[in-house]
Structure formats: structure tokens, C-alpha cells
Structure 1
């Protein structure tokens, strides 16, 4: 069922993107507005100071004194605090509401302000000297009143605020679009991953991966694609194993059942030859069951290794001797080479013999008459290395990475002749001894299996 958009991760990412952008834009907008107003007022103050200085200098040049000087009054607006300005024709004494006070050379106020009377000395404020032709004629000190912008200044600030507001709205809209785009870009790999998970649940083969990014999401998709392939391959291998086991069990059991039925109804006589064949088929079934049980123990980590000091040369000699007759019947030369004196190693004699039997059986099975199988042994640097080399048909390169995988067959067309467990069993035994095993092969040339065990 498709979930509502407001419950999706895309909505959450977009909302987070918008909220962060709105917070940043709001902060920047408030700071910009406050800074603009502050700087504009500073500009007005500097302008008022320059205007007042020029006016005082002109007055002094015209009258030779500051006596009787009255500064120009700033434009006032409704709502500004303080009494209205007074002057000639206003019914009262002159009171200046300028942000500056003009002092004479004795630092006495030239005119009245709300907090200073004419002639009052003002010495507690920083002064700016007023000079004419190098002569100091007085000074300016701040009156303490705040200079408000006039009507044009207020209009300028209002236009600036509107422009800033529109810019913030545009940026917010852009943030929404960018949030949706980023959310879609980030979540596209997750959507692809979701589709692939559904395909895996349905048992479908994965579609080719369209690698759109090389970031962590791309790596996750690539890893999942590889896992998907592995799962399908393992499922196919399990199905093949089930078919192989069913075939391998059905064939001997059918022979056993048919022979016993014939003996019971008198069709066959229980001759030694028939009983021997029944025994061989029973052994085959028992061996298959034992292999499966062995792998189950290895999977559970319960494989028991019973180590004992073992003469490696004797062990390998006995294992090779058991296959000499088979090699002679096939017309294959079977040799043993001791490259260095074989030491005595603590190992599980039965399990290592099982490894050698599996490797020799595989080598002889795939080597044509006139071919050769060599078993070489070398002890060096605390490690015993055993190599089984044949001149058989070899293995195709695409199968080499999987030859030790359980349930894997290099030749899927073979529906009988083994369950593909031999090399898996060999690897489990060697690794249980703390060693490692590897295989190399060239089609048409032969195969070499090498396993190494620690000697200490």
C-alpha cells in the first residue's frame, strides 16, 4: 500500500531542508535589516554632522561670532517622542532637537537643548573641534538625542525591507525545490534497493544495475546486487543438491528394493554376487549421508579434530597406494614426490586421509588414459604443503572462484556422479587444522590442488 507523502522520508528530508533554510534565512534577514538600519542611521549622523559643521562655519564667516546661531532643525514625524520644536514665531524660546550641540571656545552651549541651557559649560562629552582657516571657533558634542530618518529615509528603509523580504521568499521557494530535488536524488537508490528486495522475495533474477553514483548509496546497491546473485546461486545450488541427493539415493535404493523384492518372490537367488552388490549400494547411501552430516557439523562449528603425531610420508604413501590399482586400470601414472624430508606433524590422520582420497579420486576421474597424477610434499618455514597435480581436462576460468563452494558443480550438465561436496569437505577439514587450500586449473592442461598445514 502506498503511504501518504507526508509520511515518507522524502517529505521529512524536504521539511528538514526547508526548516534549516528558513532558520538561516530568517537569521540572515534579521541581521541584515538591523545592520541596514544601523548603518543608515550612522550615515545620517555623519551627514547631519557635516551639514551642521558647514552651517556653523558659514555663520561664523558671515558674522564673526557664534552668538545668536541657531542650527537647522531635522524633519520630525508623528509619533516621535519629545515636545515640538520651538522658535521664532512659535511662542517660546528656541530649543534645538539636533543630535549635536554647538559649543563656543569656552565649551559653553550656544543655544538651548532639552537638557542644556544657553551658556552652560559642557565638559563631560567628547568634542569635535570646529575650525575656520585653521582657527578653532568652537566644537560639537553629542546631545544624546537619536537622529530619526526623514520621510525619504523611512521610504528607503521600507523599500529595502520589502526587497529583503521578497529575496527571502524567493530563497525559501528555492529551498523547497532544492529540498525536493535533493530528497529525490538521495532516495532514488533506496527506492531501487526496495525494488530489488521485492524481486529477491519473489525469487526473480536481478535486473542489471544502472550505476548512477559512486557514493555510499551506490556501494550499497552494488553490494546488494552481488548478494542477490549469491542468494539466487545458492538457491539454485540447493535445488541442484536436492535433485542430486534424490537421484543418488533413488538409484541405489531402487537397486536394493528391486533385488530384495526379486529374492523375496523367488525371482532371484541370494547369491554372493547379488549380496555384494546390495552391500555396495548400501555403502554408497551411507557415504552420502555421512557427507551431509559432516557438512552439517562443519556449519555448526562442531567438527571434531583428533590430532596425533603423524608421519606425513607414511600417511601420503598409504593414501596413494590405495589408488594405484585404480590408476593402473585407467592407464594413468600415479607418482609421489617428497621435495623435502617429510616431518612428523600433529594432525587428524583420518580427516587428512579423507582429504587426500577426495583429491586423488577427483584427479583420476578427470584424467584420461596416458595422463599423469603427481602428489608432491614440501615442508618449509613451519608449513607442510601438499600438492595434487593432474593432466586432466581442467576447469573453465568462470568456475574457479566457486569450486570450493558447497553444493557447486563446475559442470551443471552432469546430473549424477556426486553431489559436489568433496572439495567443500576438503576445505572444511584443512581449515579446521588451521591451514588453507587453493586450486588452479587450465582447460586442456590440468588442475593443481594445493593445501598447506602448520607443522607446529
Structure 2
């Protein structure tokens, strides 16, 4: 992956630099050619101005043929280093500037060029021409035909510029650009190799971590020092670590659940087996007594299995079936159901005529479970109160009792599976009731709060978001 990323970066950079260099090169050559054309056009204007000077009577210049005009024009010309000026009469070099350049001297003997310059006819429009000869590979020139009335000679004022010289300068500059581009590509490659390696380090760690993980060891994690950046790959590494944390927690919970369930089931199975082994089938009274005991233990095992199934289903999406229901109807219905559980001072603290979204059956199940716990920890005539209200965009549903209360130590652990308050063994339950209540609250995107004071009672409150219809 590092190689593919690096190749893509280098290819993109190279194409971008190539495109930029090509455009720059083309524009530089175009600018050179434009300057050459402007320079030659200026030579045309100067020659015509000099020609008008020779025809002015006040200058007292005797004009007998084109050579006289060309002599005046050549004498007023000062060619640049890359220019050559020739005065041709009847196709032969007649005059050259005194300050000749290297190009001019080479043009004087370039018969191929002279012939092409002399071939321009008087009736042709003066324009910039381009040619190449054996001696000069790339020339731009103008050739201005010159005649004097009454004289049969044909003269040409010729100015040529070697385009190869400024083009070589452009080529040299862009060769430097190409060399710098290669160096830059090397630097980009080195930096890209390092950056890609750092970016992909979490993926490599993820691979090695995944290889080290086994079904008995989920403790491996991607090192945090490789997840300091805020890019997507680091986010993936952090997400994988979080997923492994959740899997580890889930596996640990399952192991504990299986261990605790095995421990809880072992006792009733041992009791049933022991009594069945000792019962005398010939004594009807022992058979009846043993039957009642076995059925009681089987009922307890059935309740345990049912509670475990409920907790297992709590993680499924279909654990709850949300629908609108009225809070006051929920409280009154639960109160009617739980009144036969014991002779208590049943009361309603608060109820509100409000419609919410949730699974009324599951919430009723949680409230009944809380009431059952309250009944087990209160005496006849004690107060058990139910209530519901809407506060701060949350629904609060509670069960309050005036029983013995719960110690601070027990408050921290009673929602754990197979945990019973006070460390006592209550054969009427397996310590799963509050775990089921918590699971129902969490399925509604809520939670359970507990307030308890010793010898003053306890209040269990389910807090569910009021506007959670879309989440459910």
C-alpha cells in the first residue's frame, strides 16, 4: 500500500511538473518569437523613416539608384549582437554596417540565404519570414525591396536574427527546471515514503495485533503512540481498539455469565439429584415430599433460565417494540398488577398525562421487578410508591420503598448479574432482576439511578430520553 500511495503521489507530482514545465516552455518560446517579430517590425519602420529622409530635398542627398538609399539606411543602423544587416543590389551583397556582428559576417557568405532574401519581389507585402540553411538552422528575417524610378537595379534591405540563440537560452533554463524537478521528485519521494509509513503504521500494527489475538487473549491493542494523528487511518486504529475493548468486555461478561450460571444451576441440580437418589419409592409420603421439593427447585431453575434468556435478548435489536403509550396508564396498570404481591401501603407519588415512545410491556416488566424487590425488603404495612414525571426532556419512572435500605458497598454492585444485596442468598431469585431492569433501560437509551439510605428506604429510577423515538 505504501508503494501504491508513493507511486500515485510521484506520478501526480511528475505530471503536474511536466504540465507546468511544458506550458512555461511554450510560453517562453512564444515570448522570444514575439520579441523577434517586434524587433524586425521596428527595423521596417526605421528603414522607411530613413528612406523618407533620403527623398527630402532639404537633405541634399543625391539618389541615383537603390544603392544610395541602402547606403544611408545601413549607415544609420547599429545591429544587435544577434542581428545581421545586409544591403543587396541585384542579388549580391553591396553594403554592410561597419560594426558587423558574427551573424552578419556569416550571412555575407551564406549564398543560400542571400538568394532567398533577394527573391522577395517589390509587389510582395513586407513580413517576417523564417528559413533555415546549411549554415544557419533557424533564421527570422525581413527583406525590403528597394527601387528608384528610372534605374533598373533592385535592392533589398535585409535584417536577420538567429532564433536559435534565444531559444538555446530558453532550453537551458528549462533544462535547469527539469533537473530541479528531478531533485524535487526525489525529495517528495523521500518525504512521501516517510509520511506514508507513519500513516500506515496503525494498519501494520492492526495486522500484527490481529495475528496475536486468540480466543483466550483479547488484551492486545494498537500502541497509542501510533494513533496520535487525526487522520482516517489513526481513527481506524482507535476504532479497532475500542472494538477490541468491547469484544473483550463482552467475552469476559459471557465467561462470567457462564461460570455464574453453572454455579447457580449446580446447586438445584445437586439438590434434586440427592433427593431422588435417597427417596424410597415404596414410601408414598417421601415420594410426595420429594416431588414437591424437586418441582420447587425446577421452578427456580426455570426462572433462572428465563432471566438468562431475557438478558441474552436484551442485546438484540428486536428486544423492544417501541410504540406510543400514556405514562399515567402505565403507572395505574402496574399498580393493579403488583398489589397482590403483599400487604403494603401502596401509593402513587406522581403521574402525568403524557404520551411517550417506548415498549410499554418491557417497562412494565422492569417496574414489576423493582416492586418485587421492594416487597422482599419491606415489612407488612411499609410504603411502596410508584411514580412518573417528565423533566429536562427525560422521562423519570420510579419505585420507592421505606425498607431497610442498601449499603453504599452494595449500591455499587447490585446491578451486576448474580449479585444479591447484603451478600445473602435468596432462594427466591438468582440475582438477575436488577440486571434485567438495567438492560431494559439501556435498550431505551436510558439508565437506572439508585438513591438509598439505611433504615430509610430506597428509590430506583429509570431515566429514559423523552425525544428518543428516532433512536429507538
Measured against the shorter chain, the TM-score band is 0.5 to 0.7
User: Which residue among 450, 455, 462 is the counterpart of 1:450?
Assistant: 462
CA distance in structure 2 between the aligned counterparts of 1:408 and 1:95, rounded to whole angstroms: 116
Residue 376 of structure 1 corresponds to 386
In the other structure, the counterpart of 1:233 is: 249
Q: Contact between 1:199 and 1:206, CA under 8 Å: does it hold in 2?
A: yes
Q: Post-superposition shift, 1:167?
A: 1.0
Separation (CA, whole Å) in 2 of partners of 1:56 and 1:316: 118
Matched with 2:293 is 277
| Counterpart for residue 360 of structure 1 | 371
Question: Counterparts of 1:329-408 in structure 2 under 5 Å?
Answer: 336-340=347-351, 354-363=365-374, 374-378=384-388, 386-389=397-400, 391-393=405-407
Specify whether residues 396 and 177 from structure 1 end up closer, same or farther in structure 2 by C-alpha distance, changes over 3 A only. farther
Alignment of 1:113-192 (within 5 A): 113-117=117-121, 120=122, 147-150=162-165, 153=166, 155-192=168-205
SS in structure 1 at match of 2:450? strand
Give the superposed CA RMSD.
Answer: 5.7
Contact 1:364 1:373 in 2 (8 A): no
Answer yes or no: is 1:313 the counterpart of 2:332.
Answer: yes
Asked if the contact 2:32–2:167 (Cα under 8 Å) also holds between the matched residues in 1, the reply is no
Conservation of the 8 A alpha-carbon contact between 2:85 and 2:158: no
1-structure distance, mates of 2:410, 2:235: 29
**Which runs of 5 or more structure 1 residues have no equivalent in the other structure?**
1-8, 78-83, 97-110, 127-141, 326-333
Please give the TM-score of this superposition, normalised by the length of structure 1.
0.63
Is this contact kept in 2: 1:342–1:378, CA < 8 A?
Answer: no
Q: What is aligned with 2:27?
A: 35
> Which blocks of at least 5 consecutive residues in structure 2 are unaligned?
62-67, 97-114, 129-156, 467-472
Number of paired residues?
Answer: 390
Q: Is 1:218 equivalent to 2:230 in the alignment?
A: no
Q: In 1, distance between residues paired with 2:119 and 2:262?
A: 112
What is the aligned counterpart of 2:318 among 301, 305, 314? Answer: 301
Q: How far does residue 297 in structure 1 lie from its aligned partner after superposition?
A: 5.9
Which residue of structure 2 lines up, in the alignment, with residue 136 of structure 1?
none
Q: How far 1:57 sits from its partner (Å)?
A: 7.6
Which residue is equivalent to 1:440? 449
CA-to-partner distance for each residue in 1:304-324, whole Å, 9 max, x for gaps?
Answer: 99x999785364155154145
Match of 2:99 in 1: none
- Give 1:262 shift: 1.2
Q: Report the Cα offset of residue 179 of structure 1.
A: 2.4
Structure 2 contact 395–465 (Cα < 8 Å) conserved: yes
How far did 1:242 drift? 0.5
| 1:320-373 deviation line (CA, Å, top 9, x unaligned) | 541458xxxxxxxx6533434899x9x9998766433421344567x699xx87
Q: Could you tell me the TM-score, scaled by structure 2's length?
A: 0.61
1:92 and 2:92 correspond: yes
Secondary structure at the counterpart of residue 348 of structure 2: strand
Aligned equivalent of 1:66: 69
Instruction: Provide the rounded CA distance (Å) in 2 between the counterparts of 1:66 and 1:291.
Output: 121
- For residue 43 of structure 1, report the CA deviation from its aligned partner: 3.9
